[in-house]
Amino acid sequence: MKVAFTTQDRIHINAHFGWAQKIDVYEVSKQGYNYLNTLEFDDNLKEDGNEDKLVPKIEALSDCTLVYVSAIGGSAAARLIRKKITPVKAQSEEEEILAILDKLVKTLNGNPPPWLRKVIQQEEEKFAYAGFEDDDE
């Protein structure tokens, strides 16, 4: 699954979703994680009430399963959820991306909480719908 992180320094989850100029994207599985790319946005991001600024971000994240943020407005969160992208609020702006990735891999290999199991199930359904289901049956 693809997981995104709003960041100012590419180390910490320290950017508000609406204001984020950089969003790092990783591929995460039970085997580990790999950095994929950094999405960059440079429009007038700090303009409150400008819902149009969210459209390019949400479209760019369309193949992501989770997006970690330091903060997110209700409207943006609802729009992500409608696109089957789960926003996750970091516990603090000091939280490091790599630490979260390590925890995610460990969780995937253990007993994921119900919200994450649901996300994983949706991800598997997307692949099955796209014709990538396992033929082991």
Strand ranges in the chain using DSSP code E only, listed in sequence order: 2-7, 22-29, 32-40, 66-69, 86-89
**Residue 22, SS3?**
strand
Distance, C-alpha 22 to centroid of its chain: 13
Place of tokens 């925890």: 103
Q: How far apart are CA 27 and CA 82, in angstroms?
A: 21
Is the CATH number of domain 2-129 3.30.420.130?
yes
Write down the pTM of the prediction: 0.85
* Residue boundaries of the structural domains of the chain: 2-129
Q: How far apart are CA 99 and CA 95, in angstroms?
A: 7
Range with lowest mean pLDDT among 44-58, 59-73, 92-106:
44-58
The amino acid occupying position 114 is: P
At residue 47, does pLDDT exceed 60?
Answer: no
Q: Which residue has the higher pLDDT, 135 or 9?
A: 9
- Encode pLDDT of 29-38 as tens digits: 989 999 999 9
Mean of pLDDT values over 94-121: 91
User: How many Cβ atoms are within 10 Å of 127's Cβ, its own excluded?
Assistant: 12
